[in-house]
Amino acid sequence: MENSSLLMEVVAKAQTWLAGNYDAETKSDIRRMINAEDKTELIESFYRDLEFGTGGLRGIMGAGTNRMNIYTVGAATQGLSNYLKAQFPKVKQISVVIGHDCRNNSRLFSEISANIFSANGIKVYLFEDLRPTPEASFAIRQLGCQSGIILTASHNPKEYNGYKAYWDDGAQMIAPHDENVIKEVLKIKNVDEIKFKGNPDLIEIIGEKIDKAFIEAIKTLSLSPEAIKRNSDLKIVYTPIHGTGVKLIPRALCEYGFTNIINVPEQDVTSGDFPTVVSPNPEEPAALDMAVKKAIATDADIVMASDPDADRLGIAVKNDKGEWILVNGNQTALLFVYYLIRRWKELGKITGKEYIVKTIVTTEIIKQIAERNGVELFDCYTGFKWIASVIRENEGLKNYIGGGEESYGFLPEDFARDKDAVSSCAMMAEITAWAKDNGKTLFELLQDIYIEYGYGKEKGISVVRKGKSGAEEILAMMQNFSKNPPKEIAGSKVCFIKDYETLELKNVALGKVTKLEMPCTANVLQYFTEDGTKISVRPSGTEPKIKFYIEVRGEMKTRADYDAADAAANVKIEAVRTSLGV
């Protein structure tokens, strides 16, 4: 009965599209779904409205209210236009930047959005072709715009596309703007409320001028130009995995001073179908397979890969046994922070006003590096919009060194306000050259960091619970962890508990509770044990799962201790899993 009722609702919703002012192709697609014997596609396309959430839109492309198409994108743009006009009544000419990645329909959605903004009297700077997400963030600031959007689904599968909204500082929106834009989007009840007919006079195509300014800004980040000169022929294998990185990353590397960039030709082909990979995600080992094979064939020094919108960076290095291994997001952030702080210190740039930023689930070794070198650390929630928020709050007061998260994102500058694979690739190549200049490989540099600050290993575990009952089970698990926190984990006493729902830090031994300074609450719990283990628990905001982030610590006195430290960490991680029941 429930399925019958749902189908009736879905068909009724689809019929309104057939009766409405929608294009012929969309209506034909809807008729096909209605007439199909299997109604699964129809239900999936119309059973709900695609939500414009705090991160914008993201969904499978196709016809329907729960799909990415010109009408759901149109409603989002019209709602944002209405909000911008209400927020900036005294700005003579409100303006926005529009960028997009390589995905199917990204250009179409960009042009549709440009027409809608301009129809609402808003000036549009539209990139001539695909560009990295961080460059669009840079352009918002460079051109003095009030907002911007980027059409991308990041590293999601090829069926997806997305829509990310940015504010005037070049960062993704946070409260109150994100929530207020959502309210405006929800007010759009009819397709006829969307102003699709654009004003060409308000649309300006941008490209090379911004490219050059962005690259010039990136070149100012270099901290070891002499090391680059001495190692300019460093063998760098780079792949954009069919995405926007192909436009600027090789160019940035060349202008930084590197002369030996080795391409993966099959993956230089720009394509929203991502023909050589199952998933265009540099976190996935398979996505780097072709690049690693190229590195083996050319005896390269490093492999670098960016995701489709070129904001995430994945790297692979050769270990002490001559094997190519992937470096995870925590290790990548560790290399960046260690190098940046060390070189800032050696160059006399540490004045006492410097800071770095990491997310709460990212390795605690970064905190140790910062504290030991007199650099302030800010911990923020997961998502680069929170790192950008910290930068905004400290602008003009303190000096930003860098910030990153465990999910392969880093930002070594503050002229863009989203994670940036373009500047990160240039800086990682510099780190490799500097290490080589000091007689080390990148892998040996990582080992040396562990020797100096202690070994650490991280493991992410997702427990999937689907459906209504699954959602209830996830809720019950979070409530149980909150109300009945573990007293010990894998044989080590829990000494601190952070509850971001209540914003309380509890010192278990003293029974003392203090306030956590965060911009808002979040459904995240953290446990810290006496032996340095950190456990973070949070439900996913987009998928039916609960996520566990495990970090365990160990000791290394020499590089020869690496394998033993790694093996001991694996044993400890398994003990933690058993202790938590995951």
The Cα 446–Cα 258 span in angstroms is: 22
List the one residue out of 242, 241, 273, 309 whose CA is nearest residue 104: 273
pLDDT at 543: 66
Encoding tokens for residue 30?
């809807």
What pLDDT, in 10s, does the model give residues 366-416?
Answer: 999 999 999 999 999 998 999 999 999 999 999 999 999 999 999 999 999
Please give the distance of CA 51 from its chain centroid, rounded to a whole number: 19
Question: Is cis: bond before 176, omega within 30 of 0?
Answer: yes
Strand extents, DSSP E, 235-362: 236-239, 261-263, 302-306, 313-318, 324-327, 354-359
The 3-state DSSP composition of the chain as helix, strand, coil percent (nearest 5) reads 45, 20, 35
Q: What 3-state DSSP class applies to 315?
A: strand
pLDDT at 1: 34
The Cα 509–Cα 188 span in angstroms is: 54
- Whether 243 and 134 have beta carbons less than 8 Å apart is answered as no
List the one residue out of 413, 392, 404 whose CA is nearest residue 366: 404
Strand extents, DSSP E, 368-465: 376-380, 399-405, 409-411, 455-464
Pairing status of strand 324-327 against strand 313-318: antiparallel
Residues sharing a CB contact under 8 Å with residue 336, sequence separation 6 or more, in sequence order: 402, 404, 410, 412, 424, 427, 428, 431
Classify each residue of 349-364 as buried b or exposed e, where b means 16 or more C-beta atoms within 10 Å of its C-beta. ebeeebbbbbbbbbbb
- Answer left, alpha or beta for residue 348, where phi above 0 means left and psi between -120 and 50 means alpha: left
Q: Quick check: pTM over 0.85?
A: yes
Q: What 3-state DSSP class applies to 494?
A: strand
Phi, psi of 302 (to 5 degrees): -160, 150
Residue indicated by tokens 């973070």: 536
What is the location of CATH 3.30.310 in the chain?
Answer: 455-580
What is the location of CATH 3.40.120.10 in the chain?
Answer: 71-206, 209-453
Residue indicated by tokens 């760098």: 236
Percentage above 90 pLDDT, the chain = 92
Residue indicated by tokens 């002369």: 259
CATH of 455-580, one of 1.10.3470, 3.30.2310, 3.30.1120, 3.30.310: 3.30.310
What pLDDT, in 10s, does the model give residues 469-521?
Answer: 778 888 889 999 999 999 999 999 999 999 999 999 999 989 999 999 999 99
**Is residue 541 predicted with pLDDT exceeding 90?**
no
The Cα 100–Cα 91 span in angstroms is: 26
Q: What is the mean pLDDT of residues 3-28?
A: 93
The Cα 171–Cα 123 span in angstroms is: 19
Which sign, positive or negative, has the C-alpha torsion 137, 143, 147, 150?
A: negative
List the one residue out of 204, 247, 184 whose CA is nearest residue 97: 204
Higher model confidence: residue 565 or residue 52? 565
What pLDDT, in 10s, does the model give residues 24-62?
Answer: 999 999 999 999 999 999 999 999 999 887 778 999 999
In words, the CATH class of domain 209-453 is alpha beta
Largest CA distance in the chain: 73
The Cα 56–Cα 147 span in angstroms is: 13
Please give the distance of CA 468 from its chain centroid, rounded to a whole number: 28
pLDDT at 534: 98
Fill in the amino acid letter for 410: F
Percentage above 70 pLDDT, the chain = 99
Measured between its terminal Cα atoms, the distance across the chain in Å is: 36
**Is residue 468 predicted with pLDDT exceeding 80?**
no
CATH number of 71-206: 3.40.120.10
What pLDDT, in 10s, does the model give residues 415-459?
Answer: 999 999 999 999 999 999 999 999 999 999 999 999 999 999 999
The secondary structure of 83-145 as a DSSP string is: HHHHH-TT-SS-EEEEEE-SSTTHHHHHHHHHHHHHHTT-EEEEESS---HHHHHHHHHHTT-
Cross-strand bridge partners of residue 166: 148, 172
Q: Which residues are catalytic?
A: 154
**Is residue 2 predicted with pLDDT exceeding 60?**
no
Residues sharing a CB contact under 8 Å with residue 436, sequence separation 6 or more, in sequence order: 227, 231, 234, 301
Pairing status of strand 236-239 against strand 261-263: parallel
Encoding tokens for residue 331?
């290790």
As to burial, measured by CB atoms within 10 angstroms (0-12 exposed, 13-18 middle, 19+ buried), residue 560 is exposed
